[in-house]
Structure 1
């Protein structure tokens, strides 16, 4: 297992499961972007969700954190 640095410090497997579920991917992506004061990216995450969904999913699988578009 990798270090816990995924969604809100959760483990790698839990973060992947949450990233696969579209509604949790959307909610956590918006919350994390708002927490980092990236309001425009949070709004774009809501508007063009399919693109952000794929990028966030790939980012969680490869890096275990949101690295791209953040």
Structure 2
């Protein structure tokens, strides 16, 4: 399950990267698109405790770090 979650997370990251490129962002401006699976959770919903769908959804995200404007 953890390996599948990491696969889905990486696929989400790559899809997000492709989307912002399709919107006109130069690919050279994107430093990375990495899926971390359950390695960088915002809460404790790693499958070891009962969580709501909304709590799990918080961990399904794409983050962007803006390094220069």
Q: Higher helix share goes to which structure?
A: 1
Rg (Cα) greater in structure:
2
Verify same fold: TM over 0.5: no
* TM-score normalised per structure 2: 0.36
* TM-score normalised per structure 1: 0.36
